[in-house]
Amino acid sequence: MSLDEKRQQKTFAIATLGCKVNQFESAEMVEQLQGDGWQQVSFSEVADLYLINSCTVTSRSDAESRRLIRRARRKNPEARIVATGCYAQVAADELISMPEVDLVLGNEEKRKIIHNLQSNRHLVTDLNSLKRSNSLRLTSFAQHTRAFLQIQNGCEAYCSYCIVPLARGPYRSVPPDEVLKAISRLAETGYKEVVLTGIHLGEYGVDLSPRTNLYELLRLIDSKKSVQRLRLGSIEPNELTEELLQLFCSSSIICPHLHIPLQSGSDTVLERMERKYDTAFYKNRIELIYEKLPDTFIAADLIAGFPGETEREFIETCNLTESLPFSGLHIFPYSRRSGTKAAEMDGHLQPSIIKERAEILRIIGRTKNSAFKERFVNIKIPVLGQRYNKETGIMTGLSRNYLEISYSSEAELLNCEVMVQVDGTLDGQLTGKLNKADYP
């Protein structure tokens, strides 16, 4: 390509907020744009087009989307700025009213980003009209050694605090044969790990005909073994069946890493949240995982300061959380979302109380995470190289049980799974040594 052609090439930048599903959908948009001749640049650079793929789980994520939109306009006053994602889906009018925004596209519209960019009309599909998932078109995940694959969309759980059903619509699952083909394509491209994602992953297959489920899909993938490592996104505790857990135990490719939302350790709060389990059931699930797979990384989500949460209820959450073998916690200060049942509840707490409780839970989470890491010092474990620093000769990789480890390596071992002897921690980061005898 000549210098003049490079100067004339259209450039775009993308900012992604929120979950792994959004990350997948951003990668899909990147692939479409690059296929249409666009060149991607960093969001901090001047671009002809800025895409903000938004999240709306909390008011903070809404505010971050607006900040990124204003930042893009300051960077290039002549650029075209497009807001898409969950915030655009549920509050399009708020974004349309921003003078910096040129175009608002809903979650469905991002699937055909090239076509919809040609329109000057804001487009937000009513997701309740959708009956099936989109085909999987993504063949690469730029600048990542792991590939995220969205196999399910939509949620119909309607927890009292959650806006996601409005942002994502009803259940839509990708048929098993399409999932298998997509995994094979990604493996052929060179990916060693595929992460299966979804908005409500445990409900995979309920909308398909014939009906299927997540266990049957994983069993199929495991039997093919077309990829070296397979990882799951978040799964609800009541959807982690014993047969599914047994598959984790017997599989050579499914990673021992489970993200199981808790949200509260108080039964009365869980009832107000309209969750589908109680603390005794949740406790049993976590203890069963630990009994069968003690080295599993077990993560949980917790909401701090749910409306009406008393001091006693908060202490119940702390006590349960401290008693269980968690490896990490994701803490979300409660955020009032218009259109949810919780928004209309009595007893909304002061922001200062919510902040204080969130920090207490984060401290518990950091303590749990540190203790989990320490268990693997002086242990040899397989690690997939993900990032290589040419200046230092240090590789940073990820173990099957979600431990990030840094070790001296050669550049050609990027995206290779090697055995690393963990020898300690440095600033909270596990470090290790590579035995050359273990090179692939």
112 and 160 both lie in a single domain? no
Residue 134 lies in a domain: no
Tens digit of pLDDT at every position of the chain (440 positions): 444 444 468 999 999 999 888 888 898 899 899 999 999 999 999 999 999 999 998 888 999 999 999 999 999 999 999 999 999 999 999 999 999 999 999 998 988 999 999 888 999 988 877 766 555 555 556 557 888 899 999 999 999 999 999 999 999 999 999 999 999 999 998 999 999 999 999 999 999 999 999 999 999 999 999 999 999 999 999 999 999 999 999 999 999 999 999 999 999 999 999 999 999 999 999 999 999 999 999 999 999 999 999 999 999 999 999 999 999 999 999 999 989 999 999 999 999 999 999 999 999 999 999 999 999 999 999 999 999 999 999 999 999 999 999 999 999 999 999 999 999 999 889 999 997 666 65
Q: Is 81 helix (H, G, I), strand (E, B) or coil?
A: strand
Q: Where are the strands (E) in 323-428, listed by range?
A: 328-333, 380-389, 394-399, 404-408, 417-426
Among the candidates 318, 342, 373, a domain finishes at 373
427 and 340 both lie in a single domain? no
CATH number at residue 385: 2.40.50
72 and 184 both lie in a single domain? no
Residue 163 lies in a domain: yes
- Residue 1: what pLDDT? 45
Residue 136 lies in a domain: no
Separation of alpha carbons 358 and 280, rounded Å: 23
CATH number at residue 331: 3.80.30.20
110 and 171 both lie in a single domain? no
How many structural domains does the chain have? 3
Residue 140 lies in a domain: no
- Residue 2: what pLDDT? 45
pTM confidence score? 0.89
222 and 368 both lie in a single domain? yes
Residue 365 lies in a domain: yes
259 and 386 both lie in a single domain? no
Q: DSSP 3-state helix, strand, coil percentages of the chain (rounded to 5)?
A: 40, 25, 40
Task: Please enumerate in sequence order all residues whose Cβ is within 8 A of that of 300, keeping only pairs 6 or more positions apart, or say none.
Answer: 259, 260, 261, 262, 321, 324, 326, 328, 329, 330
Separation of alpha carbons 107 and 26, rounded Å: 11
Inter-residue contact 16 to 26 (CB < 8 Å): yes
Residue 306 lies in a domain: yes
- Residue 401: what pLDDT? 97
Query: For residue 211, which amino acid is it?
Result: R
**Nearest one of 224, 147, 223, 221 to 189, comparing CA atoms:** 147
Inter-residue contact 234 to 204 (CB < 8 Å): no
Among the candidates 327, 342, 373, a domain finishes at 373
Q: How many CB atoms lie within 10 A of CB 61?
A: 17
Separation of alpha carbons 69 and 81, rounded Å: 7
Residue 434 lies in a domain: yes
Residue 410 structural domain: 380-438
